[in-house]
Amino acid sequence: MTIPSTFRSETALAAAVDAAFAEALAQELEAVLAEEPASPRPFDLPDTETLIVQSGIITGPCPPDPHIPSPAAQIAKHTAQTGGRLALRAAWWLLRHTTLLTTAAVVGILRLGWHIIANPKTPQALPQSAPVTPSEFLEATSRHITEHGWTQHVLEDDRGVCVLGAERALIRSGTGTRRTARQANTHIRQITGALTIPAWNDRLARREDQIHAALLAAAARARAAGE
């Protein structure tokens, strides 16, 4: 290799070559920088978000752990536990007091039974019917109506009693019997001409003074017949 006469040494020649290469490299870099920048996504690839959607990847917060109950489930569980304890306490309270009440009732029944056994009641004798005649029974019927008042269409009400109501009251009190009342009513029908005592008592125009007059007249008739 023949070195030009311009360069007197190899060092100067090397320096010149380096300068030439540096100048050429700088020109190439300027040309590259002057060109359009390359696409960040070569080959027209979609962006990252599109790729995520297309691949089916679900983004966002992670779903809750199925082994960890939700706050609502935790509240419901706590409420159920609390309610269960309260229910057990209530059941125990009811059982305890029910047992006490049952025991008290049994003791009361035993005491009552013992009292009845130890103190038997002597049956009270019913009032004995007085041996009255039909005439006396008719007069007593008139007096009973005078004391309690007279009424129609019912045996007894606030106004008083009818003839049959007075007779039943006398029988309950021990004055006369049903047989005595039947004999007395026979004399009343003979005096009044009525078929039945209630029909005669409940007649619309009937008055209380007529009731007493018929009863006393029937008593006189019964006495005359030896009754």
Contact 155, 112 (CB under 8 A): no
* pLDDT tens sequence across 156-206: 999 999 999 999 999 999 988 999 999 999 999 999 998 889 999 999 999
Residue 166 DSSP class: H
* pLDDT tens sequence across 93-107: 666 666 656 666 655
Instruction: Give me the domain span that covers residue 162.
Output: 134-224
Who wins on pLDDT, 53 or 220?
A: 220
* pLDDT tens sequence across 6-21: 545 667 666 776 777 6
Whether 69 maps to a domain, the answer reads: no
Whether 155 maps to a domain, the answer reads: yes
109-118: list long-range contacts, CB under 8 Å, 24+ apart. none
Percent of the chain scoring above 90 in pLDDT: 32
195 Cβ contact list (under 8 Å, min separation 6): 189
Whether 159 maps to a domain, the answer reads: yes
Q: Average per-residue pLDDT in the chain?
A: 75
pLDDT computed for residue 25 by the predictor: 72
How far is C-alpha 133 from the chain's CA centre?
64
Give the residue among 188, 82, 85 at the shortest CA–CA distance from 135: 188
**Bridge partner residues of 175 (DSSP):** 130
Whether 80 maps to a domain, the answer reads: no
Domain count, the chain: 1
Whether 22 maps to a domain, the answer reads: no
Whether 57 maps to a domain, the answer reads: no
pLDDT computed for residue 100 by the predictor: 58
Whether 181 maps to a domain, the answer reads: yes
* pLDDT tens sequence across 40-59: 555 556 666 776 666 666 66
Whether 5 maps to a domain, the answer reads: no
* pLDDT tens sequence across 74-100: 666 656 566 556 666 766 666 666 665
Residue 1 pLDDT class (50, 70, 90 cuts):
very low
